[in-house]
Amino acid sequence: MMSSHADLDRQIKHLMECKPLHEAKVKTLCNQARAILVEEWNVQPVKCPVIVCDDIHSQFYDLIKLFQIGGNAPDTNYLFMGNYVGHY
């Protein structure tokens, strides 16, 4: 059963106030958030397990070191985060 938007807003407000919420309601809230987020253009499915890597700032030798530690692609799945700190 899907909760109404008003009910979801109440649940979110409840959580933001650091008040406990029943597990079933948290699961419903998470499922509905997932349904919304998977429709976003910047959310992509990722095959698990995955190694999440910070921005390597175009450093080739850092990339080689990552592969030495984590394993070579395609045997290991990597997710490289973009440059979000404003260096242009």
Give the pair of three-digit tokens for residue 67.
């592969």
Cα 4 to Cα 11: distance, rounded to the nearest angstrom: 11
Please give the Cα distance from 33 to 43 (Å, whole number).
Answer: 13
Specify the pTM.
0.58
27-83 pLDDT, tens digit each = 988 898 888 888 998 888 888 999 999 888 888 999 999 999 999 988 999 998 877
Max Cα separation, the chain?
52
Is the Cβ–Cβ distance between 78 and 47 less than 8 Å?
no
19-35: per-residue pLDDT in tens? 888 899 889 888 988 88
Domain residue extents for the chain: 5-37, 46-88
Element (H, E) at 34: helix 23-37
